[in-house]
A and B are shown apart, each in its own frame.
Chain A
């Protein structure tokens, strides 16, 4: 049976949500920043060798928003997972992240959330270690859409959680 899962990618603008998806789906990266408005939907099939299953991840790339409460509720309908992306180089993109995640936890209970610190190529490992202490209660991963570091692992781990 075909398994299809809706994954909503959220976070402030300019954190690299679209770049992460493009890296995962098309294996490409562009330094140019193009603002996303509304929502782009892309999909990719992921094979999970452990249980011999294929999952189609339908990725909803939402426009950047600094307040999750302002996100159009229809976009979140029927979500199977959330990926909350922040920019490791811009504190404003993770300043209120705990409140945002708590809101998601309450309004969309039982929906898995992964916190992604993107642009890891621009910061030191020490900094990542420090910042990770903030997210000890959350499932977190640090990626670089530019170098593709941890990008496939992010979506593969998520797919495993969803089947």
Chain B
């Protein structure tokens, strides 16, 4: 065959020409693709052509193109492009072009692309769901731990008071158990709150200027004493020359090292606690320090090493050997805190023999003005000679009783209580009585404590608006603290609190 004949053969086998009248009845067809008979209604054979009747009825010269149309034939399925040509007062022409193989190839590619997009979307949704679930869980735990603070406050404070009464030996031992259990519970609540705060990314590190040598030496002194009290050796070492000053959140930094060292002492019955601090390098205005804490205690089973930093995953059986209480949050907190320092923590251990934690952390280098501002804050002892007139705005009877009890022990404290203040009268009373301090609960029955604080702090009388306010509350999440800070309160006393904590907050607000 010559080229023309090849061309005619291929075209004639992939193109079909049909003419139809205004009612969609077939006038003629070359039948190279669809097998049609004259005088049949094309729309009744293939519903696709139904719409053509309306287009032909427009009775004008026009061309309509329809691509990628699927037809099911008796033997197979085909995918075609269809062109409709309409004319004035003449039959319409339909051209069908078979592109089945071309479209099948395209379908294969589209299938892969769409499946990949859908599975990606599903993974994203699943991740989002898991994140929301985790956030809900964290918020729930944080709120729940707040709810527990109120009743615990009564237990902590009154076991403290009970100890000061005349008790026989057995009663004293019972009170000691109540006290240690409630302290344990209090610590757990604080740890839960801590962990959730860190997980909710609510932890903002302070930038205190610290002399690392004196900071580490102080920690060494504390834990040397604790180790010796338990009959353990304490070996400490500082490798390299530590920088003179670093910038770090002092409380969180101490929390990391204290937590690891406390565990080391707690889980070791005999042998040595080893604490090493090393200076690694200075790079881009950052100091890298590492810390090794090793004990010769119960160790951690190999299969639990991977999960030791997960919440509520203490290696129970071994820890119980050490006859100590463990609640599996300390290491989670440590890990989360270390991460906020852009650091890392590793653990190695041999069961029944030893455990070693290695912590690497980065600290910013302070500038000269930071160092000049360095002041050592020392807690001032409470001065019992100064008369203090305090108004307690609180509807919890437990808190009222605790503070009345404390006030009765300190003759210089005069405590008035207003459990349910009516706002206008409350301000009048404050003006009349000239209190030295207001202790304000937040959850009051008729009025929000925060609203009352604003009324005081925005009052026209300079004396009144300068009245110091301590918020007494169990609501101490970051967002709560921001509200109190914005209201310009002087301090926040977290429930449950001890007498010592209460007096310390008085001192910090009122001075000696």
Report A's interface with B, CB cutoff 8 A.
4, 6, 13-14, 33-35, 37-43, 56, 58, 63-64, 72, 74-75, 77-78, 89-92
CB-nearest residue of chain A to B84: A74
Least CB distance from B92 to A in Å reads 14
Report B's interface with A, CB cutoff 8 A.
43, 46-48, 50-51, 54-55, 64-70, 79, 103, 106-107, 110-111, 114-115, 117-118, 121-122, 125
Q: Give 16 A-B pairs besides A37-B103, A41-B69 with Cβ atoms closer than 8 angstroms.
A: A4-B47, A6-B51, A35-B107, A35-B114, A37-B79, A37-B110, A38-B68, A39-B66, A39-B68, A39-B70, A58-B47, A58-B50, A58-B51, A78-B51, A89-B125, A92-B121
- Taking CB atoms, residues of chain B closer than 8 Å to A34 are 111
CB-nearest residue of chain B to A33: B115
Do A64 and B114 touch across chains, with their CB atoms under 8 A apart?
yes
A91–B125 Cα gap in the complex (Å)? 9
Known A14-B118, A77-B64, A78-B54; contact A38-B125, beta-carbon cutoff 8 A: no
- Taking CB atoms, residues of chain A closer than 8 Å to B66 are 39, 72, 74-75
Least CB distance from B24 to A in Å reads 11
A75–B66 Cα gap in the complex (Å)? 7
CB-nearest residue of chain B to A13: B114
Do A74 and B68 touch across chains, with their CB atoms under 8 A apart?
no
A72–B117 Cα gap in the complex (Å)? 22
- Taking CB atoms, residues of chain A closer than 8 Å to B110 are 35, 37, 63
- Taking CB atoms, residues of chain A closer than 8 Å to B121 are 90, 92
Do B114 and A38 touch across chains, with their CB atoms under 8 A apart?
no
Known A74-B66, A92-B121; contact A41-B47, beta-carbon cutoff 8 A: yes
- Taking CB atoms, residues of chain B closer than 8 Å to A14 are 114, 117-118
Least CB distance from A103 to B in Å reads 21
A56–B66 Cα gap in the complex (Å)? 22
CB-nearest residue of chain B to A44: B47
- Taking CB atoms, residues of chain A closer than 8 Å to B117 are 13-14
A161–B146 Cα gap in the complex (Å)? 58
- Taking CB atoms, residues of chain B closer than 8 Å to A89 are 125
- Taking CB atoms, residues of chain A closer than 8 Å to B111 are 34-35
- Taking CB atoms, residues of chain B closer than 8 Å to A4 are 43, 47, 50
Least CB distance from B76 to A in Å reads 15
- Taking CB atoms, residues of chain B closer than 8 Å to A64 are 114
A39–B79 Cα gap in the complex (Å)? 9
- Taking CB atoms, residues of chain B closer than 8 Å to A77 are 51, 55, 64
CB-nearest residue of chain B to A15: B118
Known A13-B114, A37-B103, A74-B66; contact A42-B47, beta-carbon cutoff 8 A: yes
- Taking CB atoms, residues of chain B closer than 8 Å to A74 are 64-67
Do B50 and A38 touch across chains, with their CB atoms under 8 A apart?
no
- Taking CB atoms, residues of chain A closer than 8 Å to B43 are 4
CB-nearest residue of chain B to A93: B121
Most central of B46, B54, B67, B103 by chain A CB within 10 Å: B67
Do B79 and A38 touch across chains, with their CB atoms under 8 A apart?
yes
Least CB distance from A88 to B in Å reads 12
CB-nearest residue of chain A to B128: A91
- Taking CB atoms, residues of chain B closer than 8 Å to A72 are 66-67
CB-nearest residue of chain B to A59: B47
A42–B69 Cα gap in the complex (Å)? 12
- Taking CB atoms, residues of chain A closer than 8 Å to B114 are 13-14, 33, 35, 64
CB-nearest residue of chain A to B124: A92
CB-nearest residue of chain B to A6: B51
Do B50 and A6 touch across chains, with their CB atoms under 8 A apart?
yes
CB-nearest residue of chain A to B83: A74
A33–B118 Cα gap in the complex (Å)? 11
Residue from A38, A43, A90 in contact with B69 in the complex, judged by beta carbons closer than 8 Å? A38
Do A38 and B51 touch across chains, with their CB atoms under 8 A apart?
no
- Taking CB atoms, residues of chain A closer than 8 Å to B125 are 89-91
Do B50 and A37 touch across chains, with their CB atoms under 8 A apart?
no
Least CB distance from B358 to A in Å reads 44
- Taking CB atoms, residues of chain A closer than 8 Å to B48 are 41
Least CB distance from B99 to A in Å reads 10
Known A64-B114, A90-B118; contact A43-B47, beta-carbon cutoff 8 A: yes
CB-nearest residue of chain B to A39: B69
A43–B45 Cα gap in the complex (Å)? 11
Least CB distance from A85 to B in Å reads 15
Least CB distance from B123 to A in Å reads 12
Least CB distance from A22 to B in Å reads 13
CB-nearest residue of chain B to A78: B51
A37–B111 Cα gap in the complex (Å)? 9
A13–B121 Cα gap in the complex (Å)? 12
- Taking CB atoms, residues of chain A closer than 8 Å to B65 are 74
Least CB distance from B264 to A in Å reads 50
Do B47 and A37 touch across chains, with their CB atoms under 8 A apart?
no
A4–B79 Cα gap in the complex (Å)? 24
Least CB distance from B85 to A in Å reads 13
CB-nearest residue of chain B to A74: B66
A74–B70 Cα gap in the complex (Å)? 15
A92–B51 Cα gap in the complex (Å)? 32
A90–B129 Cα gap in the complex (Å)? 13
Known A4-B50, A13-B114, A58-B50; contact A37-B64, beta-carbon cutoff 8 A: no
A92–B497 Cα gap in the complex (Å)? 50
Q: Which 9 A-B pairs have the closest CB atoms?
A: A38-B68, A78-B51, A43-B47, A35-B111, A41-B48, A58-B47, A40-B70, A35-B110, A78-B54
Least CB distance from B387 to A in Å reads 60
- Taking CB atoms, residues of chain B closer than 8 Å to A38 are 67-70, 79, 103
Least CB distance from B191 to A in Å reads 36
A6–B50 Cα gap in the complex (Å)? 8
Least CB distance from A67 to B in Å reads 14
A89–B129 Cα gap in the complex (Å)? 12
Least CB distance from B507 to A in Å reads 53
A14–B117 Cα gap in the complex (Å)? 10
A91–B69 Cα gap in the complex (Å)? 30
A72–B118 Cα gap in the complex (Å)? 23
CB-nearest residue of chain B to A60: B48
A64–B111 Cα gap in the complex (Å)? 11
A14–B133 Cα gap in the complex (Å)? 27
